[in-house]
């Protein structure tokens, strides 16, 4: 028994292609789920519109309290029963976005709730319209205050993409599994992939920290 | 939608539900023990100890559970260590949970004001007495909501064990699905099983958080 730690290096192009798919999927899932989560949070915060509120609440609770894997299986295997055929990537994206949007809605709702009521009233007095108050006054503060949770959830989205490998999306974990079944160099491949994920998340977190400093550092000093 | 098959398979679901609970509880128990120990070591005065534990925590918090499962499941036999599937699963979940719980414990310990350490020292308590009698019980109170929050995550993550063939709810449901050819309804029932454990727990977490905020 010998370990060939160079093996993953020989297959670096494949692994990096997988990593690129992981990054793209994560980025898309993050953006979609963040915006959807924001919409959910607004509905949940205002408890309006009356029809949507219970639906959104139920959606969020269901997706927060069941495993991502079950949600993906439900979409990928369950939907065709009603004639909705989705490709692995589509099903995976749908599940991941719905899952992560539910988490974001809770994070952002907490953020919106912690903004003092006076700010809404003050902005109202200045003659800003409701959407303006939200996008100019409330939203930036919410993002600033909940920034650590937002980045945390972003990392979970990156890890979540690894579950898409079970639906045969050719992202990093799936590429590694395929390589593994071709070569049985399991220890080397998966250790390497683990480090690759670590690198990707560290990079993503560094970008987030940079953005935070760029956007909010001056404003937090004032507090 | 057609749930008429459910009564016939109810027993199987029930059994599978308990297998998932068993795995989750085992993982939570061992993960907590490892995590608390690692978390205490993370606040150690000795740099070397902190460094070693830090590498473990970063590595397991910095990679997906699925990759960790694959690494141990395929990797250990590859280097000549043969352990059973049950052992593999529990081992991975312990390492994974331990890493997260270590961080929760560490931040809990660090949230305790330094003055408490100094006060305990001036009372003549040694490190272990201080940790045991003074610091840790307060840490537990601070860390409790995040800990339960993570336990909910562990219960849901236990579904990933099905990928390496560990027989729990998701794995069993695949068998059921193959017999009934009703994936949509099957996964609704599976989701419901997770929901009835996780939903009350997450309500508990938000209740505790709200109460501590109000104080």
Task: Using alpha carbons, list the distances in angstroms from residue B36 to B98, B139, B147.
Answer: 7, 11, 11
According to the model, what pLDDT value does residue A221 have? 52
**Chain B residues close to A70, C-beta within 8 Å:** 159, 170, 187, 190-191, 194
* Class (C level, CATH) for A6-222: mainly alpha
Look at chain B and count its residues. 215
**Secondary structure string (H, E, C) spanning chain A:** CCCCCCHHHHCHHHHHHHHHHHHHHHHHHHHHHHHHHHHHHHHHHHCCCCCHHHHHHHHHHHHHCCCHHHHHHHHHHHHHHHCCCCCHHHHHHHHHHHHHHHHHHHHHHHHHHCCCHHHHHHHHHCCCCHHHHHHHHHHHHHHHHCHHHHHHHHHHHHHHHHHHHHHCCCCHHHHHHHHHHHHCCHHHHHHHHHHHHHHHHHHHHHHHHHHHHHHHHHHHHHC
pLDDT along chain B (215 residues), means of 10: 84 90 94 95 92 94 94 89 91 96 94 92 91 90 92 94 91 89 90 94 90 77
Q: Are A60 and A152 in contact (CB under 8 A)?
A: no
Domain ranges of chain A: 6-222
According to the model, what pLDDT value does residue A9 have? 86
**Interface pTM, i.e. ipTM:** 0.90
Q: Which portions of chain A are predicted below pLDDT 70? A: 1, 218-223
Q: Are A154 and A208 in contact (CB under 8 A)?
A: yes
A70: nearest CB among B63, B77, B187: B187
Least Cα separation, residue B191 to chain A (angstroms):
6
According to the model, what pLDDT value does residue A1 have? 58
Model confidence over A164-191: pLDDT tens digits?
999 999 999 999 999 999 988 888 999 9
Q: Do A1 and B188 touch (CB under 8 A)?
A: no
According to the model, what pLDDT value does residue B78 have? 85
Three-state DSSP class for B149?
Answer: helix
Report yes or no on B28 lying in a domain.
yes
According to the model, what pLDDT value does residue A220 have? 53
Q: Do B198 and A66 touch (CB under 8 A)?
A: yes
Domain that holds residue B60: 8-214
Place of tokens 């057609």: B2
The count of structural domains within chain B is: 1
Least Cα separation, residue B126 to chain A (angstroms):
36
Place of tokens 């501590």: B212
Report yes or no on B35 lying in a domain.
yes
Q: Are B159 and B20 in contact (CB under 8 A)?
A: yes
Which residue from B minimizes the CA distance to A178? B70
CA distance B184 to A78: 4
Which residue from B minimizes the CA distance to A180? B74
> How many Cβ pairs closer than 8 A exist between chain A and B?
132
pTM given for the model: 0.90
Which residue from B minimizes the CA distance to A188? B75
Q: Are A92 and A72 in contact (CB under 8 A)?
A: yes
CA distance B124 to B121: 5
**Chain A residues close to B198, C-beta within 8 Å:** 64-66
Task: Using alpha carbons, list the distances in angstroms from residue B56 to A217, B99, B192.
Answer: 31, 7, 35
Place of tokens 């997770």: B194
Kindly report the average pLDDT of chain A as a whole number. Answer: 91
According to the model, what pLDDT value does residue B59 have? 93
Interface of B to A at Cβ within 8 Å reads 58-59, 62-68, 70-71, 74-80, 152, 156-160, 162-163, 170, 177, 182-184, 186-188, 190-191, 194-195, 198-199, 202
**Chain A residues close to B200, C-beta within 8 Å:** none
Report yes or no on B164 lying in a domain.
yes
B66: nearest CB among A78, A82, A163: A163
Q: Do A194 and B71 touch (CB under 8 A)?
A: yes
Report yes or no on B161 lying in a domain.
yes
CATH code, B173: 1.10.3720.10
């Amino acid at each position: 028994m010998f370990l060939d730690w160079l093996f993953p290096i020989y297959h670096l192009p494949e692994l990096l292609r997988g990593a690129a798919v992981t990054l793209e999927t994560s980025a898309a899932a993050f953006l979609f789920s963040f915006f959807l989560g924001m919409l959910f949070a607004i509905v949940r915060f205002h408890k309006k519109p009356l029809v949507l509120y219970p639906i959104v609440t139920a959606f969020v609770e269901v997706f927060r309290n069941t495993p991502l894997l079950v949600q993906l299986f439900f979409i990928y295997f369950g939907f065709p029963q009603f004639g909705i055929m989705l490709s692995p990537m589509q099903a995976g994206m749908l599940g991941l976005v719905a899952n992560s949007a539910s988490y974001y809605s809770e994070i952002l709702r907490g953020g919106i709730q912690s903004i003092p009521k006076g700010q809404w009233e003050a902005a109202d007095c200045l003659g800003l319209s409701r959407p303006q108050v939200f996008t100019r006054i409330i939203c930036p503060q919410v993002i600033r205050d909940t920034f650590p949770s937002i980045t945390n959830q972003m990392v979970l989205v990156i890890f979540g993409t690894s579950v898409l490998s079970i639906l045969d999306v050719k992202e990093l974990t799936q590429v590694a599994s395929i390589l593994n079944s071709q070569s049985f160099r399991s220890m080397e491949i998966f250790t390497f992939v683990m480090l690759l994920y670590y690198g990707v998340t560290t990079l993503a977190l560094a970008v987030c920290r940079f953005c935070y400093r760029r956007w909010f550092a001056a404003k937090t000093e004032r507090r | 939608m057609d749930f008429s098959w459910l009564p016939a398979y109810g027993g199987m679901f029930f059994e599978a539900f308990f297998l998932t609970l068993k795995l989750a509880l085992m993982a939570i128990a061992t993960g907590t023990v490892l995590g608390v120990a690692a978390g205490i070591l993370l606040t150690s005065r000795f740099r070397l100890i902190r460094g070693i534990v830090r590498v473990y925590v970063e590595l397991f918090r910095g990679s997906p559970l699925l990759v960790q499962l694959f690494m141990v499941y395929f990797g250990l036999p590859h280097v000549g260590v043969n352990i059973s599937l049950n052992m593999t699963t529990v081992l991975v979940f312990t390492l994974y949970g331990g890493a997260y719980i270590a961080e929760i414990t560490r931040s809990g310990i660090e949230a305790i004001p330094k003055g408490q350490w100094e006060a305990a020292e001036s009372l003549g308590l040694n490190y272990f007495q201080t940790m045991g009698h003074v610091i840790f019980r307060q840490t537990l109170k601070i860390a409790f909501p995040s800990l339960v929050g993570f336990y909910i995550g562990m219960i849901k993550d236990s579904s990933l064990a099905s990928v390496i063939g560990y027989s729990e709810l998701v794995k069993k449901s695949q068998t059921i699905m193959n017999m009934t050819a009703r994936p949509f309804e099957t996964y609704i029932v599976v989701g419901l099983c997770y929901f009835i454990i996780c939903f009350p727990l997450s309500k508990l977490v938000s209740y505790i958080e709200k109460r501590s905020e109000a104080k």
